[in-house]
Amino acid sequence: QSALTQPASVSGSPGQSITISCTGTSSDVGGYNHVSWYQQHPGKAPKIMIYEVTNRPSGVSNRFSGSKSGNTASLTISGLQAEDEADYYCSSYTSGSTFRVFGGGTKLTVL
């Protein structure tokens, strides 16, 4: 069981917006702004999409945005495109013994 909880799957049509949630506790997501999001296509290494809750690395489309409320962080993808179909993982620093944790991952299907 992953430390952070994500929905197993979400879907949307091209052009639509979707949001993926990532729920933790006050020891990780709720207590720190060290939440990041990663995209992973099948057979490929992950790619960072968001860091420090809301920041986009250079080169990442502004269709990707992050937010946080309480113990839940969210990744929103607007204007869905076929190439967005992938697995998405959240991650957070934790004050627990594990130091850093990932969510279980969410499979995004573009219909």
Query: Tokens standing for 17?
Result: 């917006």
Alpha-carbon distance 81 to 61, whole Å? 11
By rule CB under 8 A, what string of x and - marks binding of each residue 43-62 to other proteins? Answer: --xxxx--xx--x-x-----
**Residue choice 9, 17, 100, 111 for contact with other proteins (CB under 8 A):** 100
Nearest distance in Å: CB 109, other proteins: 17
Query: Which residue number, 26 or 82, has a Cβ lying nearer to other proteins?
Result: 26
DSSP 31-87: T-S-EEEEEE-TTS--EEEEBTTTBPPTTS-TTEEEEEETTEEEEEE-S--GGG-EE
Give the footprint of other proteins on this chain (CB under 8 A): 2, 34, 36, 38, 40, 45-48, 51-52, 55, 57, 87, 89, 91-93, 97-105
